[in-house]
Structure formats: structure tokens, C-alpha cells
């Protein structure tokens, strides 16, 4: 069975601080995909990034960066110079590869990020 753990239930920081959201996963599949989604109060899950299990390169997109380490089964997300608009619930998710999404996503419980002005 697959499992995603986001140990941080809620994080509160002051604007412009850097913040890292942790994600630890468990899977027996050798091919899998990891995701991060953002859920603002409106409810829609906004796709942020996808990583496959064969690509451990870190990725940076503007103020966002992701650190994928298979050795520790972690896929952490860092926001640099946080802004109030980053306030949302962030979800890490996992799915097995090779079946085009048929297995569905296994989500963590989410981290509620609060950026105070």
C-alpha cells in the first residue's frame, strides 16, 4: 500500500520568510510519480509540480523549489521569500506509474500554510 505523510499540520510565518513543507512517502513500486498541489480557500486543487521516480534532479520555479531524495523517500517543497498569496493548504501526493493514472492519487493530510503580513 502507498502512503504519504505530511507531518506539519499547520505552519505560520511572517511574509518574506522562507518556508519548507515536508513530505515523506512509502511505496513498493519502482516507477511512481510525486506531486504537489495547492488548495486555496476556493477549493480547487492547483497543480504545482510532478516528479517521476527516475528523476532526482531538484527543480526551481521562481520562488518555489523542490528537493526529491529517494534515499530518504522525501519530496520537500520550499517557498522562498513567502508572500501572503502563498497562504493555502498544500498537498503532497503519490501514484504508481505505468497505468496512466488509473491507480489514482494517494494524498497526504496537507499542510496549512499561513503567511502573515
Q: With binding defined as CB under 8 A, does residue 47 bind other proteins? A: yes
Considering only 74, 107, 112, 114, the residue that binds other proteins (CB under 8 A) is: 107
Say if residues 11 and 20 touch (Cβ distance below 8 Å).
Answer: no
24 versus 109: smaller Cβ distance to other proteins: 109
Give the distance, in angstroms, between the CA of residue 32 and the centroid of all CA atoms in the same chain: 15
Q: What stretches of 15-56 adopt beta strand conformation (E)?
A: 19-21, 24-26, 32-39, 46-52
All cell numbers assigned to 60: 526551481
42 versus 57: smaller Cβ distance to other proteins: 42
Give me the residues that bind other proteins (CB under 8 A), please: 33, 35, 37, 42-47, 50, 52, 91, 93, 95, 97-110
Amino acid at each position: 500500500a502507498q502512503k504519504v505523510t505530511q507531518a506539519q499540520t499547520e505552519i505560520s510565518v511572517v511574509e518574506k520568510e522562507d518556508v519548507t513543507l515536508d513530505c515523506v512517502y512509502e511505496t513498493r513500486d519502482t516507477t511512481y510519480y510525486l506531486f504537489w498541489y495547492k488548495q486555496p480557500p476556493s477549493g480547487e486543487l492547483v497543480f504545482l509540480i510532478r516528479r517521476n521516480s527516475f528523476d532526482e534532479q531538484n527543480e526551481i520555479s521562481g520562488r518555489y523549489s523542490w528537493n526529491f531524495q529517494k534515499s530518504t523517500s522525501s519530496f520537500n517543497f520550499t517557498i522562498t521569500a513567502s508572500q501572503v498569496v502563498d497562504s493555502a493548504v498544500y498537498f503532497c501526493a503519490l501514484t504508481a506509474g505505468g497505468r496512466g493514472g488509473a491507480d489514482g492519487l494517494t494524498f497526504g493530510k496537507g499542510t496549512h500554510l499561513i503567511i502573515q503580513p
